[in-house]
Structure 1
Amino acid sequence: MPKRYNCVLLMTDRPDLADAAEAFARERFDVRYASRHSRNEREFPQEAASTIAHGNVDFLLNYLAPMYVPKVVFQEVQREAINFHPAPPAWPGIGSASYALYRGDPTFGATAHRMTAKIDGGEIVGVAQFPVCSEDTCETLFSRALRATLDLFFEVCQELTLDGHAVPTGDHWERAAVTRAEFERWMTLTPTDSPDQIVRKMRALKNPRFPGPFFEINGVRMQVPKGLDPIKNPGSLSSLWESNGNNEPTRGPDE
């Protein structure tokens, strides 16, 4: 009979994504600690850190939990500390679905990688891919990536169960992880943007749950009005830089 390994499991708080992942993990591992976290949580749970520090934990699995894992924590893990990321190796960091749509990528997906001190920079041990559809928005594309992340979680956990370690895929990150500040700047349209850039960025950022894109007048950042449709009429944006406003909201942590 193969050895039964143990793990610490951090998850999203969405039941539609977490329930199946937790059940799968409990069938295969001795789960010493499991917790679920909302998208805005940032503090690593102290109980998880204590369990790892004192319990000879084989695996630390971060499945869509939003917090950064301190180096002092993942270095205490005996075998593997793996993060499951809802984006392909082409787009580490923030805004992955929007960047993929803007660039016109034919595929999108999810990545499993070893944890390092560098965010979304560790060795890649699993990749899932699916085609981008012509009607996709960043909301639908990111939602499909979350489902692909669940499938990838199943795949990697099965590998850990059988082999006790993950095997690198040979894939590499294409760039450094995009930061929140970089994404916020990218969401801002400028008067020098071409009609093609505006149309592609509007499609890439359209999301009913989050604001954006934005434009600026005299250093004041405002959201493009929801009723404006530069995709059908790119020239309509020219009037924006003659308007006034004072709003600067932000998006969620991943989209």
Structure 2
Amino acid sequence: MKLLLISNYKHKVSRKLVEFLKIKKFDFYHIDSSKKKKIKISKKYDYLISFLNTLYIDKNVRKKIKIKSFNFHPGPPEYPGFGCYNFALLDKVNSYGSTIHIINDKFDNGEIMDVKRFNISYKKYDLEKLIKKTHENILLQAKLFIINIYKKKPITKRKFKWTKKAYTKKEFEIARQIKLNDSKAKILKKIKAFSYKDYESIFINFKGFKFAFKK
């Protein structure tokens, strides 16, 4: 059985998954999506695994997959699409997780096969800690799922459902913008939800100028 793994190799956890597949001596081919603008393949594979990959996988790729194409989304069914971590922190959630679903024509829309959840403390978790915990969670989920594929265990359909349409980049940009009349509490909540390493955080537009927050 041949497996196609598409992942963003900039993430440490993606490198760990590749090493795991090598140790297990699974027959797989890896595409680093961080170095691609579009996913293209010429060979056929039995399964496709999209792991922390943000590039769209179109029909021309999926039609070369003999059995199924799965996406591993770093968020539970309540947070599909772009900025899943950020929106969860804005909502002050006390649990989070990762989702495996079948890939179709839309982002984070296909039938859900598995959800692996974990509890968090909003007071103790910032964006960096939530991402780290999610990556640990989704790696364990991926290892077990792929092992079961290679053992040819039947994939049981689950009763999970997406609860909303996938968040878009536009919605993400709107959410991280600060308004002049925002309260201190709201600004602090947005700082927590959108501040991560050297990525752009919150910002405010004022008289034609954009002012961005830096840690």
Indicate whether the TM-score tops 0.5. Answer: yes
Q: Where does 1:188-207 land on structure 2 (aligned, <5 Å)?
A: 188-207=177-196
Aligned residue in 2 for 1:30: 27
Could you say which structure has the larger radius of gyration?
A: 1
- CA–CA distance in structure 2, aligned partners of residues 93 and 42 of structure 1: 19
1:112 equivalenced with 2:100 (yes/no) = yes
179-188 vs 205-214, which moves further = 205-214
Alpha-carbon deviation of 1:28? Answer: 6.3
Alpha-carbon deviation of 1:204? Answer: 1.4
- 8 Å contact 2:86–2:194 — kept in the other structure? yes
Aligned residue in 2 for 1:136: 125
CA RMSD of aligned residues (A): 2.1
- The one-letter code sitting in structure 1 at the alignment partner of 2:59 is K
Indicate the SS of the match to 2:50: strand
- The one-letter code sitting in structure 2 at the alignment partner of 1:139 is E
- 8 Å contact 2:5–2:30 — kept in the other structure? yes
- 8 Å contact 1:94–1:178 — kept in the other structure? yes
- 8 Å contact 1:80–1:165 — kept in the other structure? no
Matching residue within 6, 13, 18 for 1:17: 13
Matching residue within 140, 154, 157 for 2:146: 157
TM-score between the two structures when normalised by the length of structure 1: 0.75
- 8 Å contact 1:98–1:138 — kept in the other structure? yes
171-180 vs 202-211, which moves further = 202-211
1:121 equivalenced with 2:109 (yes/no) = yes
Aligned residue in 1 for 2:37: 42
Aligned residue in 1 for 2:137: 148
- The one-letter code sitting in structure 2 at the alignment partner of 1:50 is S
Alpha-carbon deviation of 1:129? Answer: 1.3
- CA–CA distance in structure 1, aligned partners of residues 188 and 15 of structure 2: 38
- 8 Å contact 2:201–2:214 — kept in the other structure? no
- The one-letter code sitting in structure 1 at the alignment partner of 2:16 is A
- 8 Å contact 1:92–1:173 — kept in the other structure? yes
Unaligned runs of 5+ in 1: 227-255
TM-score between the two structures when normalised by the length of structure 2: 0.88
Aligned residue in 2 for 1:183: 172
1:51 equivalenced with 2:43 (yes/no) = yes
How many residues were matched structurally?
Answer: 213
- The one-letter code sitting in structure 2 at the alignment partner of 1:68 is Y
Unaligned runs of 5+ in 2: none
- 8 Å contact 1:101–1:138 — kept in the other structure? yes
- The one-letter code sitting in structure 2 at the alignment partner of 1:118 is K
